[in-house]
Amino acid sequence: MKKVELIDLSKSYDKQVNVISNINVTIEPGEFFVLVGPSGCGKSTMLRMIAGLEQITSGTLKIGEVVANDLPPDKRDLSMVFQNYALYPHLTVQQNISFGLDVRKVKKDEQRRRAEEVAKMLGLMEFLKRKPRELSGGQRQRVALARAIVSEAPICLMDEPLSNLDAKLRAHMRSEIRRIQRTLGITMIYVTHDQVEAMTMGDRIMILHEGKIQQVGKPIDIYNNPANPFVATFIGSPPMNLAQAMVDKKASELIVGDVWRLPIPADEIDAFPEAPLMAGIRPEYLRPATKETKEDDKIIVEVTNVEVLGNETVFSFLLGADEWQAKWSGQWHIDIGDSIPLLADYGALCLFESETGNRIKQPTDLGNFVFGKEVLV
């Protein structure tokens, strides 16, 4: 296992505008580290810089304890899985798996042993004599993964390897890749634009936007405590609801979207700036109000869209000028045009500065969130 360090790493193609700016992160040995962000944010470019396929403009890349800026790709002791599989159509599955070993002059018996060992791990034994055209998309993906694993490199890079698969197969391959990574104990750096993949696979994730780091941390920590509005809306499905907000210090209230007034605890009111804020709340933290709910604590909204997904119901409504969503567990008989009374706890809100996007309040009331090793009985 090896760690990977990116120190003030930047990339520019025209020496004027950086497509990646001042990246500082350490990927620990044996960690499953996910780079996630929208298309064009620089995540694949960063992966290619680690692989040695893109030149580093400035900064330092260390693999293990060695500065790798000028090392050729074959000297970096890593493997890579591409989005398009990159299999040789004229070679069998076994030949594709062991191709890199053949290039490195590994003995034929050793090639066969290692290829069969990896094929057993990935359920490919019955396909070893077939050509790639005779395989399904998921089987081809497993061959590409086997070719990377058979090299026994301590670091594996993956560039959106599941984007060509259907939803069911993607879910299966997510767990398969994660299981293999744990079994082998390798350091894996995985690029995706899919936040579900990032949340379910990564030990830690790095969120990129326009070539800059937005936040690095454990998936659940980022979900609960987004650093800025971009992270809040990028991570989570549906995304976090956002609206402009102001603090009314005389009334000790937070005014959200000009229409919803939420009481602020007395010990927090003085800490808030007079400047405009942005309030955010996850759709699942918007709860149905009951007959016992005080009138001042709830708001009546008109439903604009409904999605009943079987295990949950998601509906949309307007809060001032912003469209928000609520997500409730189970099947709710809600129709477009219905008036729904909603309730939200102040503790479930995120607050950001409108101008800078910096978070000034993180949620403190997260329902069933379990801290540490505590177990619900």
pLDDT confidence of residue 69: 94
| CB of 80 closer than 8 Å to CB of 148 | yes
- Cα 257 to Cα 231, 326, 349, distances in angstroms: 20, 16, 13
pLDDT confidence of residue 367: 55
pLDDT confidence of residue 366: 63
pLDDT surpasses 70 at 374: no
pLDDT surpasses 50 at 377: no
Q: Name which residue leads in pLDDT, 373 or 228.
A: 228
Q: Would you call 99 exposed, middle or buried from its count of C-beta atoms within 10 A (0-12, 13-18, 19+)?
A: middle
Would you call the peptide bond into 89 cis, given omega within 30 degrees of 0 as the criterion?
A: no
- Cα 289 to Cα 299, 332, 336, distances in angstroms: 8, 14, 18
First to last CA, the chain: 38
Instruction: Report, as an integer, the average pLDDT of 86-105.
Output: 89
Sign of CA dihedral 315, 317, 323, 327: negative
* pLDDT tens figures, 3-15: 999 999 999 998 7
Instruction: Report, as an integer, the average pLDDT of 224-234.
Output: 95
pLDDT confidence of residue 266: 84
Q: What are the structural domains, with CATH classification, of the chain?
A: 4-229 (3.40.50.300), 230-361 (2.40.50.140)
pLDDT surpasses 90 at 163: no
Instruction: Give the whole-angstrom CA distance, residue 338 versus residue 326.
Output: 14
Confirm whether pTM is higher than 0.85: yes
* pLDDT tens figures, 18-51: 899 999 999 999 999 999 999 889 999 999 999 9
Size of the chain in residues: 377
pLDDT surpasses 80 at 164: no
Instruction: Report, as an integer, the average pLDDT of 76-102.
Output: 89
